[in-house]
Amino acid sequence: MPDSGDLESYYARRAREYERIYELPERQADLARLREVLVAFGGGRRLLEVACGTGYWTEVVAPAAASVLATDSVEEVLALARQKGLASSRVSFACADAFDLEAVQGDFDGAFAAFWWSHVRRGNLAEFLGKLHRRLGAGAGVLFFDNRFVVDSSTPVARADETGDTYQERVLADGTRFEVLKNFPSAEEVRTQIVGSSGEAVEVHELEYFWHATYRVGDAA
């Protein structure tokens, strides 16, 4: 049976093998497109990155951004992110809970999160987005991107609960098994959630393996 540990425990154990997921040959064209989208979005911005993990996407956007504060709640992945040697004049890291961003110091005009949306329970998305939007303030830009479910490429969904959240069984290199929350929303679900949380000028695009969404925080946040 999968380990009953939480998401933080899973990523702490997975830290050193995390970036292998970006090596899948069939996903390279889509990943290249996500890099382009992130660099274009982040150019010149003071960015808050939510759930940065090992800093893979931090490294992609750092040369284009004015600054990046990359946050995560798992020290093991932050340690690897810090080892990338990104310029300290432009990039900094902080241990922070994605649901408690008020504690994060800094002035930001944009935020992004890569592969985080899917790990938030559907019933908690409004809370997360509301807190993020209030932390950023009206007019700030936001970018999310995440996985689409693709048969024969994605890890199969092991079960769904009564709220509609779905879960995968993940097996690490050492054989440890975890049941991990992983949702696969449609483009319309993403758009509806963002608009309902005071997002404006929402654009959602679906690639073959991923989706990405950009918008600005509205005055009602």
Q: Which residues pair with 171 in a beta bridge?
A: 177
What is the percentage of the chain residues whose pLDDT exceeds 70? Answer: 94
How far is Cα 4 from Cα 80, in angstroms, rounded to an integer? 25
How far is Cα 202 from Cα 95, in angstroms, rounded to an integer? 29
The whole-number pLDDT of residue 2 equals: 39
- Look at 118-132, 145-159, 172-186 and tell me which has the smallest mean pLDDT: 172-186
pLDDT in tens, 42-54: 999 999 999 999 9
pLDDT bracket for residue 165 (50, 70, 90): very high
Q: Which residues pair with 209 in a beta bridge?
A: none
Quote the mean pLDDT of the chain: 92
Cα dist. 142→151, 163, 203 in Å? 29, 27, 11
How far is Cα 143 from Cα 40, in angstroms, rounded to an integer? 11
The whole-number pLDDT of residue 1 equals: 39
The whole-number pLDDT of residue 47 equals: 98
The whole-number pLDDT of residue 86 equals: 94
Mean pLDDT of 162-170: 94
The whole-number pLDDT of residue 175 equals: 83
pLDDT in tens, 107-123: 999 999 999 999 999 99
pLDDT bracket for residue 17 (50, 70, 90): confident
pLDDT in tens, 182-205: 999 999 999 999 999 999 999 999
What is the percentage of the chain residues whose pLDDT exceeds 90? Answer: 81
DSSP calls for the chain: --B---HHHHHHHHGGGGGGGGG-GGGHHHHHHHHHHHHHHHTT-EEEESS-TTSHHHHHHTTTSSEEEEEES-HHHHHHHHTT---TTTEEEEE--TT-GGG--S--SEEEEES-GGGS-GGGHHHHHHHHHHHH-TT-EEEEEEEPP-TTTSPPEEEE-TTS-EEEEEE-TTS-EEEEE-----HHHHHHHHHHTTEEEEEEEE-SSEEEEEEEE-TT-
Amino acid identity of residue 58, one-letter, is T
Cα dist. 31→24, 28, 114, 167 in Å? 10, 5, 11, 23
pLDDT in tens, 18-50: 788 888 999 999 999 999 999 999 999 999 999
Domains of the chain: 7-147+185-217 (3.40.50.150)
The burial of 65, by beta-carbon neighbours within 10 Å (0-12 exposed, 13-18 middle, 19 or more buried), is given as buried
Decide if pLDDT at 145 tops 90: yes
